[in-house]
Amino acid sequence: MRKKKVLLHSNTSRAFTGFGKNAKNVLSYLVENDCCEVVEAANGKKYSDPSLKTLPWKAVGTLPDNDQVIEQINQDPNRARGAGYGHEMIDRIIKEERPDLYIGMEDIWAFEGFYEKDWWNKTTCMIWTTLDSLPLLPAAVNPASLIKNYYVWASFAEREMHKLGINHVKTLRGAVHSEDFFRLSTDARKTLRARNNLPPQSFIIGFVFRNQLRKSVPNILDGFKMFLQKTPESNARLLLHTHWGEGWDIPRLLHEKGIDPALVLTTYYCSQCGEYEIKPFSGHQQDCKFCGAKESQNTTNVGAGVNESQLNEIYNLMDVYCHPFTSGGQEIPVQEAKLTELITLVTNYSCGEDCCTSASGGFPLEWAEYREPGTQFIKASTYARSIDKQLTKVFKMKETKRRSLGRKARQFVLDNFSKDVIGKQVEEIIKAAPFLDDSIDLSIQPKNPQYPMPNTEDDGEFIKDLYQNILNRAVDQNYQGYQQWMQNLKQEKNKEAVYNFFIKTAHDHNNTLNSFDIKKFLDPEDKGSRILVVSPSSGTTVLYALSMLASIKRDFPDYNIYFSTRPDLFSLLDGNPFIHKFIPFDPSLGNSLELEGFGDNEGHFQIVYNADPLATNLNINSHHNGQMSPNFSLALCTA
């Protein structure tokens, strides 16, 4: 019996983000336990990105391979935003992979439009998302009936969903690799401090975070300043492990608040040798003291930062961990800090509720409510006095009590967040999912733009009719799109305009189905003996390329030559004895590696020659599956 196939769609598992770390941990658990076949759909990567081939599981990117297509996408901000979440390629990936279980793990708005796709719920579909603020987003609440397997990262989100009567939502926390994080010996911790020129008796307060505005940097600085003033004997330092080139302008805040910059540390990472250094911030692009590289050190960031072993050392430099924030989905650094047996101080809101209890080895930070403009979300502004109070409590605590709470903190994470615990829960979800029936078609089906306008008096029935008979989708009054159109009709009272929008949507959808398919231009009999010449920009470049065909045919007499250019230039190809078939140019023909079958891809041509590199972005003319036509290549260079 075949194994079930799971498609995990999220940040690339190599990203230094919460989603990226969770994807890596869950995928590695599934592979190590050999419980299913896994495929990663990696947001932020091109479909055929070579770096994905080195992972221990199959992975494909969710961005198109062709740079010209990406350039077109980037001209439309809405389309570009969707492309970052995988909207451009997910239909193709679903159709090709045919997963028994699709797991979408991103912010909830990433899946806008997915619930309307033809494949949604034909295979088992699961959303695993972070909800971090109240009131819950309509994007999270309205489609709940269509999300049969609905998981959130924090218990407060499950609780609030249940209050709304959405009782099938469950908590499934993000997985933390517990083996990467642990408390080092006392001697090792002293050695680390000495290596980084830190006073051995200094009380070091740590905060590991991405420098986003929802991370409460001004608040922790205010609390730190209070603590310094009240407890000078602590000789305290504040270690902000973050990128100082985004988000909060930390040097400006230090100046504004009158805090000595020498007391606030950060992590510098060298992109050349991979070493890190803890020291006060002194600007970007610093020279590396380890390898001597010039301007190679920058504060750690999601693109270039410390590995897990190094991050474990950084946690072990700390005496206490403090994490004030306005809201969050899980805040994985809190669990990593607990695994190193640090007492954690966490804002008692959102996901912080799970990690600031005495049972978790943590203390709560009190906060004041404010409302986020636009969304009107409840957000937390952590009290500086609460930060000061809890820092003082930990500083004055006996070492035996600190160690006892630290061990409790680690055990809490092992029991509730570890890779093995969360991986096992995901494995149980996979076991419960049925196999996808071979007869089920997961391809995108055409819509019906020929449907006449219905003569329906009731607005609700009218909207349902349009969804059913134009877009081939059954909806009820809980569906977000239905509610939006009902509101529109209430305000505008123009059914014809609504009908025309549905018809246009159907036409636009059908146009996307008519995507370029190279296979329909190929003779199946000549598989493995095809050559493609690409030259779309002008008649001049076409004539240059045509002059080389005799040379190609002489070197490869048994190969059929296909020629691709714009249809308006086809007349230049008429009567050429060396051309087997014309192919109208499409931007997808700009990926020579995919066309030739680089890596695991099945190529359609043995050799692809580019006679028009600027127009096609097809700048690689040296692969050709190990075969070359020297005369043709020389002519291309001289032309």
How high is the mean pLDDT in each 10-residue block of the chain (639 residues)? 95 91 96 97 95 96 86 85 94 95 97 91 97 93 94 97 97 96 97 95 96 97 98 98 97 98 98 97 96 96 89 98 97 96 98 95 97 93 98 98 98 97 98 96 88 93 94 81 90 92 83 73 86 88 92 92 90 94 82 68 80 55 51 41
Nearest C-alpha neighbor of 206 from the set 311, 318, 338: 318
The two three-digit tokens of residue 213, written as one number: 């505005």
Nearest C-alpha neighbor of 418 from the set 532, 332, 495, 349: 332
H-run or E-run covering 421: helix 419-432
Contact between 125 and 149 (Cβ < 8 Å): yes
One-letter identity of residue 206: G
Phi and psi at residue 280, to the nearest 5°? -65, 155
What whole-number distance in Å separates Cα of residue 392 and Cα of residue 228?
10
Sequence-distant (6+) residues with CB within 8 A of 298 are: 243, 245, 268, 269, 271, 284, 285, 286, 304
What whole-number distance in Å separates Cα of residue 346 and Cα of residue 335?
11
The two three-digit tokens of residue 243, written as one number: 């990128």
Contact between 377 and 133 (Cβ < 8 Å): yes
What whole-number distance in Å separates Cα of residue 636 and Cα of residue 400?
76
CA dihedral sign, ordered 163, 167, 168, 172:
positive
**With 0-12 CB in 10 A as exposed, 13-18 as middle and 19+ as buried, what is 552?**
buried
Q: What is the pLDDT of residue 620?
A: 47
Beta-strand ranges (E) seen in 484-593 are: 530-534, 560-565, 579-584
Contact between 386 and 366 (Cβ < 8 Å): yes
**How far from 139 is each of 64, 144, 235, 589, CA to CA, in Å?**
27, 9, 48, 38
Contact between 391 and 398 (Cβ < 8 Å): no
The two three-digit tokens of residue 405, written as one number: 């709470």
Q: What is the DSSP letter of 559?
A: S
One-letter identity of residue 274: G
The two three-digit tokens of residue 525, written as one number: 């009999």
Q: What is the pLDDT of residue 304?
A: 86
Sequence-distant (6+) residues with CB within 8 A of 514 are: none
- Tokens 């270690």 correspond to 239
Nearest C-alpha neighbor of 403 from the set 355, 445, 460, 361: 361
The two three-digit tokens of residue 97, written as one number: 């992979």
Mean pLDDT of the chain: 91
What whole-number distance in Å separates Cα of residue 239 and Cα of residue 589?
50
- Bridge-based pairing state of the strands 237-241 and 149-152: unpaired
> Each residue of 253-262: b (16+ CB within 10 Å) or e?
ebeeeebeee
The two three-digit tokens of residue 349, written as one number: 């809101």
**How far from 335 is each of 346, 360, 361, CA to CA, in Å?**
11, 10, 11
Helix, strand, coil in percent for the chain, rounding step 5: 45, 20, 40
- Domains, in order of start, for the chain: 5-175+424-432 (3.40.50.11930), 178-416 (3.40.50.2000), 459-513 (no CATH), 518-638 (3.40.50)
The two three-digit tokens of residue 377, written as one number: 């979300």
3-class DSSP state of 349: coil
Sequence-distant (6+) residues with CB within 8 A of 540 are: none
What whole-number distance in Å separates Cα of residue 433 and Cα of residue 101?
7
Q: What is the pLDDT of residue 617?
A: 47
Q: What is the pLDDT of residue 584?
A: 87
CA dihedral sign, ordered 246, 251, 255, 259:
positive
- Bridge-based pairing state of the strands 264-270 and 276-280: antiparallel
What whole-number distance in Å separates Cα of residue 82 and Cα of residue 11?
13
Nearest C-alpha neighbor of 10 from the set 62, 46, 49, 56: 62
